[in-house]
């Protein structure tokens, strides 16, 4: 970026980002210094990409006019802790309105690719049209600025996400990679393809420890465009950490909201896996397609149970002190670490474990690994499979697909393999489409076409207003469980004021665990921006920009054909309330109707005129 002002809110046009647009149909590329239109552009991520997507009228995600926008955030590659994010934005092949129009979508991931991308000198890469042959794209630094090259990729076709990276690593040193798996390649029959992002640990160990931009089928947009990988090759360009940023980083680790994500042996809560224990106390861990049974079956995947038989290591992203994820490996006879299996985060563990009736950690880990290797979004995959299993439980005389039942590891494994290889569009294209085919939509656990995360919808009516996935674009998932809020006023305020700010992290380049409860309009972020760029900007102006970006996302949903009636929870929640969940009922039809009315009273006037 070229920065010619200290006031990014008042003079965004004096900040220029470097954008390369590639026409894949002929290889032509244009590199431009683009003046920012507003603070959202300066912050980056979906704050910028959604403004560009809003300028396109797209009726089918798989069309040449639908761009794929790859960008970073302002603090990606900076000294601010967690500044590793890469964003992929496009009209989604999986999230769409009942009118059949695709929703604008972004997906974010860590790993080191984003920082390397930024260090090449590029801020944004837009792919137009599609290539006639499979290609990979090399982004490298040169004396004259970023250099972008398309290369033939036939030799990478059919390889997993991880294997593509291992292959590319032989050719490119000092580089990081973003790849799709077979699921991304088979875009015609899969719409939940993820983009995998390489990590330092992965490239050094050779073990499949990617991170993922999983949501919304961005891997399939890459696949449609015939791009199978991106390579970002650059020297590391981390500046020395200033006292100001050092103080912020220490606060992130010790004083901020991330403390509970630290490893247990450092006095932390043990990562997102710890949600199992807490939610189980309310019998709110999803079981068998989001129907908790009021028993102790989720405890089989508690950490204390799993660590008896498996080797667990807490590990961190590059230069991050939060150390939030737990890698699971086989345990050798001497108690040492055996073969690496998978990373246990709460969402994939639950949705490819307890919620499909798999209660053995090794089996759950193998399913997560399969999902990762084929390059599928573990949330969409797990929830679509749990729908299949639920259907088969209800129709034992006439089951669908291979007749898999809850807990049937081998048959579930086959479903994942077939879906990943593009041979099972019933699973590969998500629960909304499958449930429309079966005619039984009530227990398909998606909202607006995108499968929900592993928080019971009974605990989170805010899912309905999430703009890019249930829990990471609307932070209300803990409002009942964590904060005990049961009144309409708290929920209206949560949805329309406080909890939408979670999306700010998908603009600026930071992970949500930087300060998940407070968003990016904080003194910590203000201090980082002053130290890194000399910016003087008030936190409130950042909050205003995040709100505008969120509202644009909502407005785009309406532009793409969503009716207000589609801002809803899975119907089973209302029609067949689950009395086993030990939380106050805040999802009765009456409560939800009142919430809808109040929320739209606030949002409606702000949405007017935002898009054509």
Four-CA torsion 230, 236, 238, 240, nearest 10 degrees = 180
Instruction: Give the integer Cα–Cα distance in Å for 214 and 193.
Output: 7
- Minimum separation from the CB atom of position 6 to other proteins (A): 34
HSE toward the beta carbon, residue 46, CA cutoff 13 A: 29
Contacts 24+ apart (CB under 8 A), 389-396: 389/288, 389/289, 389/356, 389/357, 390/288, 390/289, 390/291, 390/443, 391/438, 391/440, 393/288, 394/440
Do the beta carbons of residue 528 and residue 245 sit within 8 Å? Answer: yes
- Minimum separation from the CB atom of position 451 to other proteins (A): 15
| Helix extents (H) in 256-345 | 275-280, 303-306
- Minimum separation from the CB atom of position 545 to other proteins (A): 23
**Can residue 510 be called a binding residue for other proteins (CB under 8 A)?**
no
**Can residue 199 be called a binding residue for other proteins (CB under 8 A)?**
no
**Can residue 83 be called a binding residue for other proteins (CB under 8 A)?**
no
Q: Where are the beta strands (DSSP E) in 449-590?
A: 450-451
Give the list of residues 6+ apart from residue 242 with CB closer than 8 angstroms, or none. Answer: 79, 531
Closest by Cα among 53, 30, 31, 49 to 40? 49
Q: Which of 54, 241, 278, 488 binds other proteins (CB under 8 A)?
A: 278
**Can residue 498 be called a binding residue for other proteins (CB under 8 A)?**
no
- Minimum separation from the CB atom of position 272 to other proteins (A): 3
Four-CA torsion 207, 213, 216, 220, nearest 10 degrees = -60
Of 196 and 378, nearer to other proteins (C-beta) is: 378
Using CB under 8 A as the binding rule, the residues of this chain from 346 to 385 that contact other proteins are 346-347
Residue 200's CB: how many other CB atoms inside 10 A?
Answer: 15
Of 35 and 321, nearer to other proteins (C-beta) is: 321
Of 325 and 433, nearer to other proteins (C-beta) is: 325
Instruction: Give the integer Cα–Cα distance in Å for 596 and 594.
Output: 5
**Can residue 481 be called a binding residue for other proteins (CB under 8 A)?**
yes
**Can residue 294 be called a binding residue for other proteins (CB under 8 A)?**
no
Q: Which of 268, 298, 449, 457 binds other proteins (CB under 8 A)?
A: 268
Which segment (168-176, 204-212, 253-261, 413-421) binds other proteins by CB under 8 A? 253-261
Which segment (91-99, 252-260, 437-445, 599-607) binds other proteins by CB under 8 A? 252-260
**Can residue 494 be called a binding residue for other proteins (CB under 8 A)?**
no
Instruction: Give the integer Cα–Cα distance in Å for 469 and 216.
Output: 8
Which segment (345-353, 397-405, 491-499, 558-566) binds other proteins by CB under 8 A? 345-353
Which segment (76-84, 191-199, 387-395, 482-490) binds other proteins by CB under 8 A? 482-490
**Can residue 146 be called a binding residue for other proteins (CB under 8 A)?**
no
Using CB under 8 A as the binding rule, the residues of this chain from 567 to 606 that contact other proteins are 582
- Minimum separation from the CB atom of position 46 to other proteins (A): 18
Q: Concatenated DSSP letters for 58-93?
A: -S-SSSTTS-EEEEEBTTTTSSSTT---EEEEEEEE
- Minimum separation from the CB atom of position 339 to other proteins (A): 24
Instruction: Give the integer Cα–Cα distance in Å for 529 and 193.
Output: 34
- Minimum separation from the CB atom of position 461 to other proteins (A): 16
- Minimum separation from the CB atom of position 474 to other proteins (A): 11
- Minimum separation from the CB atom of position 11 to other proteins (A): 35
Q: Which of 272, 386, 518, 560 binds other proteins (CB under 8 A)?
A: 272
Residues in the chain: 612
Closest by Cα among 286, 288, 300, 301 to 404? 288
* Structural tokens at position 177: 């990679």
- Minimum separation from the CB atom of position 481 to other proteins (A): 7
**Can residue 506 be called a binding residue for other proteins (CB under 8 A)?**
no
Give the list of residues 6+ apart from residue 214 with CB closer than 8 angstroms, or none. Answer: 107, 109, 194, 195, 376, 377, 378, 379, 380
- Per rule CB under 8 A, count of chain residues that contact other proteins: 38
Instruction: Give the integer Cα–Cα distance in Å for 427 and 207.
Output: 27
**Can residue 387 be called a binding residue for other proteins (CB under 8 A)?**
no
Of 186 and 262, nearer to other proteins (C-beta) is: 262
Binding mask 445-474 for other proteins (x = CB under 8 A): --------x-x---------------xx--
**Can residue 95 be called a binding residue for other proteins (CB under 8 A)?**
no
CA distances 609 to 416, 552, 559, Å, are 43, 10, 11
Q: Which of 54, 59, 148, 264 binds other proteins (CB under 8 A)?
A: 264
* Structural tokens at position 441: 């939509």
**Can residue 273 be called a binding residue for other proteins (CB under 8 A)?**
yes
The conformation of residue 376, written as its DSSP 8-state character, comes to: B
**Can residue 512 be called a binding residue for other proteins (CB under 8 A)?**
yes
Which segment (62-70, 117-125, 180-188, 256-264) binds other proteins by CB under 8 A? 256-264
Q: Where are the beta strands (DSSP E) in 430-518?
A: 446-447, 450-451
Q: Which of 7, 154, 339, 483 binds other proteins (CB under 8 A)?
A: 483
Instruction: Give the integer Cα–Cα distance in Å for 283 and 456.
Output: 10
* Structural tokens at position 525: 């972020």
- Minimum separation from the CB atom of position 268 to other proteins (A): 7
Instruction: Give the integer Cα–Cα distance in Å for 233 and 231.
Output: 6
Of 314 and 560, nearer to other proteins (C-beta) is: 314
- Minimum separation from the CB atom of position 346 to other proteins (A): 4
Q: Which of 135, 165, 180, 261 binds other proteins (CB under 8 A)?
A: 261
HSE toward the beta carbon, residue 317, CA cutoff 13 A: 27
- Minimum separation from the CB atom of position 81 to other proteins (A): 16
Cβ-count burial of 81 within 10 angstroms (0-12 exposed, 13-18 middle, 19+ buried)? buried
Q: Which of 44, 193, 216, 270 binds other proteins (CB under 8 A)?
A: 270
Residues that bind other proteins (CB under 8 A): 257, 259-261, 264, 267-275, 277-279, 281, 304, 324, 345-347, 453, 455, 471-472, 475, 477-478, 481-484, 512-513, 516, 582
């Amino acid at each position: 970026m070229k920065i010619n002002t200290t006031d990014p809110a008042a003079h965004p046009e004096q900040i220029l980002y470097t954008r390369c647009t590639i026409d894949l149909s002929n290889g032509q590329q244009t590199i431009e210094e683009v003046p920012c239109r507003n603070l959202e552009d300066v912050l980056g991520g979906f704050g910028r990409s959604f403004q560009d997507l809003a300028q396109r009228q797209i009726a089918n995600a798989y069309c040449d006019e639908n761009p794929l926008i790859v960008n970073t955030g302002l603090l990606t590659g900076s000294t601010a802790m967690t500044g590793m994010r890469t964003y992929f934005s496009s009209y989604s092949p999986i999230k769409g309105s009942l009118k059949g129009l695709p929703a604008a979508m972004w997906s974010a991931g860590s790993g080191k690719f984003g920082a390397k991308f930024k260090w090449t000198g590029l801020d944004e890469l837009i792919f137009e049209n599609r290539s006639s042959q499979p290609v990979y794209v090399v982004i490298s630094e040169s004396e004259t600025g970023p250099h972008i090259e398309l290369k033939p990729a036939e030799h990478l076709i059919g390889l997993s996400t991880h294997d593509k990276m291992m292959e590319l690593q032989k050719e490119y040193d000092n580089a990081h990679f973003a790849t799709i798996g077979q699921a991304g390649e088979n875009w015609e029959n899969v719409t939940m393809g993820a983009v995998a992002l390489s990590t330092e640990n992965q490239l050094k160990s050779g073990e499949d420890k990617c991170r993922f931009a999983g949501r919304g089928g961005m891997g399939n947009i890459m696949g449609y465009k015939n791009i199978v990988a991106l390579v970002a090759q650059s020297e590391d360009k981390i500046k020395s950490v200033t006292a100001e940023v050092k103080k912020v980083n220490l606060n992130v680790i010790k004083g901020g909201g991330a403390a509970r994500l630290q490893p247990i042996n450092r006095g932390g809560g043990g990562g997102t896996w710890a949600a199992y224990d807490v939610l189980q106390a309310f019998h709110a861990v999803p079981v068998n397609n989001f129907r908790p049974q009021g028993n102790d079956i989720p405890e089989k995947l508690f950490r204390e149970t799993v660590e008896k038989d498996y080797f667990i290591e807490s590990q961190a992203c590059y230069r991050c002190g939060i150390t939030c994820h737990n890698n699971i490996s086989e345990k050798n006879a001497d108690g040492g670490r055996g073969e690496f299996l998978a990373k246990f985060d709460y969402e994939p563990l639950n949705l490819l474990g307890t919620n499909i009736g798999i209660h053995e950690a090794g089996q759950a880990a193998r399913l997560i690994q399969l999902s990762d290797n084929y390059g599928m979004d573990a949330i969409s995959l797990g929830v679509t499979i749990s729908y299949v299993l639920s259907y088969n439980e209800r129709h034992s005389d006439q089951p669908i697909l291979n007749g898999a039942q809850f807990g049937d590891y081998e048959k579930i494994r086959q479903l994942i393999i077939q879906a990943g290889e593009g041979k099972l569009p019933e699973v590969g294209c998500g629960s909304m489409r499958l449930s429309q085919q079966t005619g039984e939509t009530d227990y398909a656990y998606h909202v607006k076409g995108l499968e929900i995360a592993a928080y019971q919808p009974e605990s989170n009516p805010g899912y309905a207003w999430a703009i890019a996935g249930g829990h990471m674009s609307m932070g209300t998932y803990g409002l009942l469980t964590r904060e005990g809020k049961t009144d309409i006023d708290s929920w209206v305020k949560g949805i329309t004021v406080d909890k939408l700010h979670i999306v700010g992290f998908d603009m600026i380049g930071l992970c949500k665990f930087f300060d998940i409860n407070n968003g990016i309009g904080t003194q910590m972020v203000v201090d980082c921006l002053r130290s890194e760029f000399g910016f003087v900007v008030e936190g409130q102006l950042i909050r205003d920009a995040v709100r505008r970006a969120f509202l644009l996302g909502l407005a785009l949903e309406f532009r793409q054909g969503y009716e207000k009636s589609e801002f809803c929870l899975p119907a089973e929640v209302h029609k067949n309330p689950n009395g086993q969940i030990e939380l106050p009922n805040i999802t009765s039809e009456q409560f939800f109707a009142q919430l809808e009315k109040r929320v739209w009273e606030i949002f409606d006037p702000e949405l007017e005129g935002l898009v054509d």
